[in-house]
Amino acid sequence: MLDMAFQLLAFFILTFRPAPLEGQISLRLPPPQPITGGAQPAGADTSNTALPKGVNTLTISVFPDQAGDIGALGVGEAPVASLRELDAKLKEVFGDPSNPFDQVIIQVGQTLRYDALMEVVDLCTRQKLPGGQKLSKLSFVEAPSG
């Protein structure tokens, strides 16, 4: 009987698969659009010398401290002292209609805690764009170490 209990215990331990909690961020992505603007394959028009349209990107950097909390923030190249100051800076940037950004990339330090990152994401998604719609185009990249 004891042998059967250990076999069942080993079976349930080996087959247990917890659901990933961190991968469930619901973001509204923009609809897919063709890059070339037509049905012809890329590079087929050799007379076209125009450069591709650039994407205006706002980069927000979030670096952790030793405990995994937010240690340093930055918008573009400018350092920001706190989440409140980040909120004011984002309102200033998105409130100016002459600064249209197509996307926001959040650079995240590797050891940043998930709840600290969600504070920054929540702050970003509360921003209003010049047209009145909410900011919804967010991407994440790992911040360079060093």
Share of the chain above pLDDT 90, in %: 8
pLDDT, average across residues 36-56: 66
> Where do the structural domains in the chain lie, given as residue ranges?
54-146
The residue among 75, 82, 71, 68 whose CA lies nearest residue 115 is 68
Residue 104, number of CB atoms within 10 A of its CB: 23
Q: When comparing pLDDT for 45 and 139, which is higher?
A: 139
pLDDT, average across residues 73-98: 87
The residue among 51, 57, 52, 58 whose CA lies nearest residue 34 is 52
121 pLDDT exceeds 80? yes
E strand or H helix that includes residue 88: helix 83-95
pTM above 0.75, yes or no: no
Please give the mean pLDDT across all residues of the chain. Answer: 80
Residue 129, number of CB atoms within 10 A of its CB: 15
